[in-house]
Amino acid sequence: MKKTGRILVHISFLLMLTASAFSHGLPMVEPETVGLSTERLTRIDKVMEKHVAEQKIAGGVILLARHGKTAHLGAYGMMDVEAEKPMKPDTIFRIASMTKQITSVAVMMLYEEGHFRLREPVSNFIPAFKEMRVLPSEDAEDSAAPVPATRQITIWNLLTHTSGLTYHWSEQLGPLYNDAGITHGLLQDESTLAEKMQALATIPLLHQPGARVEYGLSIDVLGYLVEVASGMPLDQFFSERIFKPLGMTDTHFFIPEAKRERIATVYERTGDGPIMRKSQEPTVNGTLIYSTDYPYNGPRTYFSGGAGLVSTAPDYARFAQMMLNGGEFEGVRLLSRKTVELMTTPQLADMGVDYGFGLGFGIVQDESDLKEIGSVGAYNGGGFFFTNFFIDPQEQMLGIFMCQLHPGGSDLAERIRILSYQAIVD
């Protein structure tokens, strides 16, 4: 591998005024005008540069905003080491599960329009999910057949990952998902969301709906719910109802050819070794199969509400700022303040889980969750290829971390979040 190059974009106030390349992002200001320390923010630069120099990552982009203004936008290292292409603030990343929060917002927009209630069975819109089966309990005989579900999957179950659906890494259901051609969005697929959700409904659930939390394909089902309730494909709904109103010009399911050169390369790192370029051939990890070229190769027909999008740090910051503003951004309102409050209120306290989760977002629900510096009520999400964000209503602050590494095994995103908080000086 060629020596990993590195570049740091540390935008001063004068550059912020002339940086037309980032004009669609949040307004850029000197950190001190929003209660942050320029000197303390350089600690983010040092940590990122160190990780690049030690070949723990190829590069990344960090965006930190407070009171609706960007105070720090750094691009570090390389988006393609072998081609010697430096990372840029408008580099496009596979955000994978950071798609889930956008799909959840789409669902709640339709909820506000009166299309459904949250405790309503999703089978009212997708009849195939009406009579589900559930895998037998663990103490049942090996030959035991799946049993009928005792209750229907509700829209709330899907939003909170309590539906009984899982992902392909499940030893019990992964092989069944693969045999049925069910995808998770990180692999080329010639089918459509409608066709795959019909097939998914024929496969047993891992547990009874509402019995426990299991991260999985629930948000893909919600993506199809958006299609059924709105009468338009998910990519069209996202484009017309969310991306265009928010000015998210670089967020797509599939990258336009003109933007292809802006997508970051995915690298992998095993143990303490240096990063290596990840092959574009599908990676097989047990029953989980994924690829890195899905955003630009393949038939472009499957719109995964759970993992399918690509985006940039400035674009995702506009979405995050909308949430931080209580559903409004630059005069455009997607959600009411009360709906945002509901989405960011812990929903699973009575299920015995040791973390906070709302409708689509992880949440710091009380002081016991504050293992590190932060705020109660802050909410967050992350993606398969090492992307992450946090939104803090108390501090009126948001942070976007973008990298492309899998498997990662690094706490770098958490370190950057901590360094973001330590820069608060007002």
The amino acid present at 135, given as its one-letter code, is L
149: Cβ contacts below 8 Å, ≥ 6 apart: 131, 132, 133, 134, 164, 205, 208, 209
pLDDT value of residue 408? 73
Average pLDDT, the chain: 92
Q: For residues 281 and 286, what is the distance between their CA atoms, to the nearest angstrom?
A: 15
Q: Model confidence over 351-384: pLDDT tens digits?
A: 888 889 999 999 999 888 888 999 999 999 999 9
Tell me if 75 sits within 8 A of 7, measured CB to CB. yes
In 3D, which of 302, 50, 324 has the Cα closest to residue 184? 302
Using CB atoms within 10 A of its CB, is residue 46 exposed (0-12), middle (13-18) or buried (19+)? exposed
- For residue 274, whether the previous peptide bond is cis, meaning omega lies within 30 degrees of 0, is no
Q: For residues 21 and 80, what is the distance between their CA atoms, to the nearest angstrom?
A: 20
Q: For residues 401 and 416, what is the distance between their CA atoms, to the nearest angstrom?
A: 8
Name beta bridge partners: 73: 63
- Kindly write down the DSSP assignment for every residue of 132-201, as one continuous string: -EEPPPTTS-TTPPPEE-SSPPBHHHHHTT-SS---TT-TTTHHHHHHTT---SSS--SS-HHHHHHHHT
User: Mean pLDDT, to the nearest integer, of 231-258?
Assistant: 98
Helix (H, G, I), strand (E, B) or coil at 63: strand
Angle at 386 between CA 293 and CA 72, to 5 degrees: 115
Q: Are strands 59-66 and 85-86 parallel, antiparallel or unpaired?
A: unpaired
Q: For residues 192 and 220, what is the distance between their CA atoms, to the nearest angstrom?
A: 11
Q: How confident is the model at residue 13 (pLDDT cuts 50, 70, 90)?
A: very low
User: Mean pLDDT, to the nearest integer, of 165-193?
Assistant: 94
What pTM, to 2 d.p., does this model score? 0.94
Residue with tokens 């798609």: 99
Lowest mean pLDDT across 39-43, 143-147, 256-260: 143-147
Task: Report which of residues 424 and 271 the model is more confident about.
Answer: 424
**pLDDT reading at 164 higher than 90:** yes
Q: For residues 258 and 92, what is the distance between their CA atoms, to the nearest angstrom?
A: 12
**pLDDT reading at 23 higher than 80:** no
Q: How confident is the model at residue 6 (pLDDT cuts 50, 70, 90)?
A: very low
**% of the chain at pLDDT higher than 70:** 93
Residue with tokens 């049993």: 147
Phi, psi of 218 (to 5 degrees): -55, -40
Tokens representing residue 283 in the block: 């990676």
Name beta bridge partners: 76: 60
Q: Please name the helix (run of DSSP H) or strand (run of DSSP E) that holds residue 39, with its range, or none.
A: helix 38-53
**pLDDT reading at 262 higher than 90:** yes
Q: DSSP secondary-structure letter at 22?
A: G
Q: For residues 177 and 272, what is the distance between their CA atoms, to the nearest angstrom?
A: 33
pLDDT value of residue 140? 59
**pLDDT reading at 105 higher than 60:** yes
Q: How far is CA 230 from CA 111, 117, 247, in A?
A: 11, 15, 21
pLDDT value of residue 407? 86
Tokens representing residue 50 in the block: 């160190």
User: Mean pLDDT, to the nearest integer, of 51-68?
Assistant: 97
Helix (H, G, I), strand (E, B) or coil at 16: helix
Q: How confident is the model at residue 2 (pLDDT cuts 50, 70, 90)?
A: very low
Residue with tokens 């995808």: 183
User: Mean pLDDT, to the nearest integer, of 3-25?
Assistant: 43
**pLDDT reading at 19 higher than 80:** no
As a whole number of Å, the CA-based R_g of the chain is: 21
How many C-beta neighbours within 10 Å does residue 17 have? 12
In 3D, which of 55, 75, 140, 13 has the Cα closest to residue 312? 75
Q: How confident is the model at residue 206 (pLDDT cuts 50, 70, 90)?
A: very high
